[in-house]
A and B are shown apart, each in its own frame.
Chain A
Amino acid sequence: MMPSNLLQIAAPELILAIGALALLVLGAFRGNRSTLLVSILAGLVLIGAAAAAAVAPLGPIFRGGFVSDEVSRFSKVAIYLMSSVALLLGERWLNRLRAGQFEYPVLILLAALGMGMMVSAGDLISLYIGVELQSLALYVLTAFRRDDGKASEAALKYFVLGALSSGILLYGASLIYGFAGSTRFVDIAHAVHTTAAPVVLIGLVFLACGLAFKVSAAPFHMWTPDVYEGAPTPVVAFIAAAPKLAAMVLFARALLEGFPDAIDQWRQVIMTIALISMAVGALAGLVQKNLKRLLAYSSILNIGYALMALSTGTQLGLQAMLVFMVLYMIDSTGAFATLAALSRDGKPMETVGDFAGLSQERPTLAIVLTVLSLSLLGLPPLSGFWGKFYVFKAALAAGQWQIAVFGLVASVPAAFYYLRIIKTMWFDAPAGRTDTPAPDAQAVAVAAGLWSLPLVLVGLAFLDPLAALAARAFGLS
């Protein structure tokens, strides 16, 4: 059965797909002269897609392969807007390095399309298609600076390991299909409800491992530091934000729609992954000198928190995860925007030592980075605190105080490396002159900083009910 409003439901993705193809043609004909035009149009396409997603009707289409519900609406708006920020950051940044090409916006559009598919995936096939579409676009984006050895190496690692994870994911999917006789989550849930044989659960573990790779949860995180270090900074800002949310939502949908009756079984797996992620993220970050690697471990740690929220399997937990991810995306994008804004003699500043005494020369950016670090650290009343607050509240409400305590303990060593950045910026002797910051990146950074401190207090008033509404979509308690 096909609902009559099929086009409306699929409108955001259709806009993205058509937009991407059209811009590709435009670029192909006009060459790199059209980069700016393509970028602007791509931005408009993304905003249009976000608007379409916000008003898209609800319901499953394509025999349940594509689902539109409150969660997908919420996530799509967030994802598309964050993608447009990445577009803004990247276009100018690449231009400054004389590496600007019209493919960049197109690739962002394709990645966004993949993410849209992921959050709306209603069966294992669309799940895989969404993941692969998004991943392939990201592989290419990572290697966008083909002349950069580090970037190429990072992209290759990312690609090979991504392929491995896709294999794992597909193997899990095949086990599940073999058991349930269907790829649709609803049918799988029905089959699991009747009998939960170990084989389907093994398939579930494989599926979870594949998805854990996409969210860079430990022990499937190994690619993260290398890719973050090697890839162009705006691309990292992109990878670190929107795809994580998409993958987390997909994770939640697969588990909560596909295996609602096996919650006690998968909860332990997710919790284990969360614990390992938090431990690795907190401890390995301590010895990092490169700020992008450090932020990579920070993202592993934060994914640990998000998984902690997911492992509750409650509506409160899902809401916490959504709020946490949105707040984290903004902090993380702001931090990478600061990195993108700063350079010394035309070279990006990446090590912690590069930031010594930054407060004297670039007070604005130093303040922004200080605020964002404190926010990532979880200091009240900054946004990072509220994210963690939701997560811990959900974990405690679900009676999982042990993991909440572990999360609190893990934030102690993490505090060290965030504070070290602040200390370096404010109390160390300046490391030398820096170039004038890029205005666009600085604007993004300042906006993220402002959100982190005063605006979040207002923003939460809107974010909270929206996330609550979205969390209700899965019909959890």
Chain B
Amino acid sequence: MDKQLLLIIFLSSPLLGALIAGLSGRRIGDKASMAVTTGLLFLSCALAWNTFYQVTWGSWSERFTVELLPFINVGDFQSAWSIRVDTLSAVMGIVVTTVSALVHLYSWGYMSDDPDKPRFFAYLSLFTFAMLMLVNAADFMQLFFGWEGVGLASYLLIGFWFKKPTAGAAAIKAFVVNRVGDFGFALGIMTVFWMFHTIRFETLFPLIAAKAGTTWHFAAWNFSALDLAGFFLFIGAMGKSAQFFLHTWLPDAMEGPTPVSALIHAATMVTAGVYMVCLLSPLYEYAPNARGVIILIGAVTSLFAATVGMMQNDIKRVIAYSTCSQLGYMFFAAGVGAYQSAMFHLFTHAFFKALLFLGAGSVIHAMHHEQDMRKMGGLWKYIKITFVAMTIGNIAITGLGIPFVDWGFAGFYSKDSMLGVAFAAGATQPLGYFAWVVGVFVAGLTSYYSWRLAFFTFNGHARWGHDAHDAHGHDDHASHAQVETHGEPDAGHDDHGHGHGDHKPHESPWTMLVPLIVLSIGAIASGFAFVHYFVGSGQEAFWKGAIFTGANNHVLEQSEHLPVWVGLAPLTAAILGLLVAAYVYLWREGLGAKLAARGGPLYTFFYNKWYFDELYQVVFVNGAKALGDVFWKQGDQKTIDGLGPNGVSWLMGQFGKGLGRLQTGYIYTYAFVMLIGVAGLVTFALMAWVR
């Protein structure tokens, strides 16, 4: 078949599914909507793999763009709906469609009790379409369209259970925080357009080198123009990828159904920021200061999120902070110039993080929508497949592997690669060393919280007996300082014929297990299968110029020749983290609870997420409210309304009353006014004429 047609089918089938399920879901019924969306998604997924194969090893070796329709054409501002095909978009395409297809399938089981299935599947497909638009964009405008489209879908899905007030609040929070990022993103696009008079990547990228070093004078400073553009664009990436300062929405986004968390808030949408930075590598290569900011923010995010993740008790929140932390890794890798490593980790991370989320979903499903790990324990006997899958995911994320033989699960390769390049970059960019130190430390923390999650959930004593389960949901620890993710609605579970007290955790249906198994394979194999192509010696042939590397940028090659201890450090940290977790949660079970109960200052600080929500509440929310109050009461009501409409109408009323008072009813007053009028007019007339 014609490749153009294939690409169009690839891109439009999720949209078609979304339209069918969204517009006529009620008419065609739940089953049909689910079947249509899932089927179309699998079709799209197959075509994505085909594209990837063709681009990498097949006949589509040249990068190309298929233009579909004009979008906005105003002067230099030319934008078209198009499909850009290169290795970058192909890699991202398989990530998006594979995870999305599996999540669709998984949702058959997970959402089986939900009354709004067509809406859910329509949203999922809509999200996938928007994400593919973003990924295959050939200019900034379509990129922005996709960017906002996934934001919309994310908003809709976080607030899917809109009857829960917390879900609505979380959806709004995600939307608002992303607006901040999007503002920066829009500024970045404008900066680029102002500088280059084009927003098409194809025409833009060759122009960049010539503008390197251009500065703008503004308010007594000289700004490097490209750094400024890069910085603004990165603000957009920070919002979408939940980086430090703009991360607050991601943990709250766990209010959405778990499949959504797996698809949007782990594997795809949140990585859009990383993808954009890699896509714009031709720009960032000439913007060293902007890259410095990226390294710094990335490293700090990874540290911050890991410290917070250690203390959380909600199974999904732990994974959410883990995602945030891993995204930080990707950013500092991109920041040091190893976009390939960032993309590699994005790729492997999508598999194991989706696996972890779906595994967590399976646990939650088994526990009848219980998310608090303190009410779990000893589950491995009941849900063995989930247990195995989650363990595989943990091994992958903590980067365990066998050194010297150079064999391990997915994370082992990608994380090593990222830390390696960071260290290698340290020679020229001191922030590289900083990132490396932080990265190794965080690898330990990652290992600790990941295994803590596993041991807490699957091993030890069951803490979900009669006593713990009397009050279903989370009402019984409402006294905690922190608002945790609120239980998912479990309509329908009571119909199963068993009360809450005496049920046993049960393994999930096959629709949920199949995705777990497929993703487990990905988590195991995506590392060693692709390391050669993504970051190894085959990378140049693989990327085919989709990622631009500056003339002085050799971090990837240098990372191959590092001292041995550099390569061993992350693994050592990971094993240490594993041992600590095992000590606290396996061998001395109950120690963790005791430590938490003691609540040292560090614990409180981490447990409360570094008090970011509180800080933002005080500074931005209350500040904005106070400012709004001032503008409203002083500015609008008193000044504008007071002097404007209300003041003028008052004044007019006064005039009217004054004139009314003149209307005494006495003839002599009237005559007097008339004579005054005559005298006044004569005077006025004479004065006017004499002049």
Contact = CB atoms under 8 A, between A and B. Distances in A.
Interface of A: 156-157, 160-161, 164-165, 168, 198, 201-202, 205-206, 208-209, 213, 218-220, 222-223, 225-226, 265, 268-269, 272-273, 279-280, 282-288, 413, 416
B670 A161 contact: yes
B75 interface: no
A287 B682 contact: no
Interface string B376-391: 0000000000000000
B678 A213 contact: no
B686 A202 contact: yes
B670 A223 contact: yes
Most chain-A Cβ atoms within 10 A of its Cβ — which of B653, B663, B665? B663
Given A168-B674, A201-B689, A265-B685, 10 more contacts: A218-B677, A219-B674, A220-B674, A222-B670, A284-B655, A284-B656, A284-B659, A286-B653, A287-B660, A413-B652
B5 interface: no
Interface residues of B, number: 28
Contacts of A284: 655-656, 659-660, 663
A366 to B, nearest CB: 26
Contact of A272 (B657, B660, B681): B681
Nearest to A220: B674
Contact of B671 (A161, A202, A205, A285): A161
Contacts of B653: 286-287
A223 B677 CA distance: 14
B660 A273 contact: no
12 contacts: A201-B685, A205-B685, A209-B678, A209-B681, A219-B673, A222-B663, A265-B685, A269-B684, A283-B659, A284-B659, A413-B652, A416-B649
B670 A268 contact: no
Given A205-B682, A205-B685, A219 B677 contact: yes
A225 B663 contact: yes
B673 A283 contact: no
Contact of A160 (B667, B684, B686): B667
Nearest to A285: B656
Contacts of A209: 674, 677-678, 681
A269 B659 contact: no
Contacts of B655: 279, 283-284
Contacts of B678: 168, 205-206, 209
Contact of B685 (A219, A222, A269, A416): A269
B659 A164 contact: no
Contacts of A205: 678, 681-682, 685
B685 A220 contact: no
B688 A268 contact: yes
Contacts of A282: 652
B669 interface: yes
A-B CB proximity, top 7 nearest:
A219-B677, A222-B670, A284-B659, A286-B656, A287-B656, A283-B655, A283-B656
Contacts of A222: 662-663, 669-670, 673-674
Contacts of B685: 201-202, 205, 265, 268-269
Interface string B35-64: 000000000000000000000000000000
Most buried by A among B662, B670, B673: B670
B683 to A, nearest CB: 10
B682 A280 contact: no
**Interface SS majority for chain B:** helix
A299 to B, nearest CB: 15
Nearest to B687: A268
Interface string B97-117: 000000000000000000000
A317 to B, nearest CB: 20
A168 B688 CA distance: 21
Contacts of A226: 663, 665
Contacts of A288: 660
Nearest to A265: B689
B676 interface: yes
B645 to A, nearest CB: 10
Residue among A213, A269, A288 facing the most chain B CB atoms (10 A cut-off): A269
Contact of A157 (B652, B667, B677): B667
B663 A268 contact: no
Given A283-B652, A283-B655, A287-B653, A164 B681 contact: no
Contacts of A164: 671, 674
Residue from A220, A265, A288, A416 having most chain B Cβ neighbours under 10 A? A220
Contacts of A157: 667, 670
Contact of B689 (A198, A206, A279): A198
Contacts of A225: 663
Contacts of A213: 674
A272 B660 CA distance: 21
A461 to B, nearest CB: 38
Nearest to A208: B681
A26 B652 CA distance: 53
A107 to B, nearest CB: 23
B681 A269 contact: yes
Contacts of A265: 685, 688-689
Contacts of A285: 656
Contacts of A156: 667
A280 B652 CA distance: 10
Interface in B204-228: none
A208 B670 CA distance: 18
B667 A220 contact: no
Nearest to B683: A205
A200 to B, nearest CB: 11
Contacts of B662: 222
B677 to A, nearest CB: 4
Contacts of A272: 681, 684
A285 B669 CA distance: 19
Given A161-B674, A209-B678, A286 B689 contact: no
Contacts of B657: 287
Nearest to A163: B671
A206 B686 CA distance: 13
A197 to B, nearest CB: 11
Contacts of B670: 157, 161, 222-223
Given A201-B685, A201-B689, A205-B681, A219 B659 contact: no
A223 B670 CA distance: 7
A374 to B, nearest CB: 20
Contacts of A208: 681
B96 to A, nearest CB: 55
Q: A156, A205, A282 — which one has the most chain B CB atoms within 10 A of its CB?
A: A205
B556 to A, nearest CB: 71
A206 B659 CA distance: 24
Contacts of B676: 219
B684 A268 contact: yes
Interface in B629-678: 649, 652-653, 655-657, 659-660, 662-663, 665, 667, 669-671, 673-674, 676-678
Interface string B233-273: 00000000000000000000000000000000000000000
Contacts of B660: 284, 287-288
Nearest to A266: B685
A220 B689 CA distance: 23
Contacts of A286: 652-653, 656
Contacts of B674: 161, 164-165, 168, 209, 213, 219-220, 222
B525 to A, nearest CB: 73
Contacts of A202: 682, 685-686
A132 B682 CA distance: 24
B663 A273 contact: no
A213 B670 CA distance: 11
Interface in B462-491: none
A209 B673 CA distance: 12
B680 to A, nearest CB: 8
A142 to B, nearest CB: 14
B321 to A, nearest CB: 57
A121 B665 CA distance: 34
Nearest to B662: A222
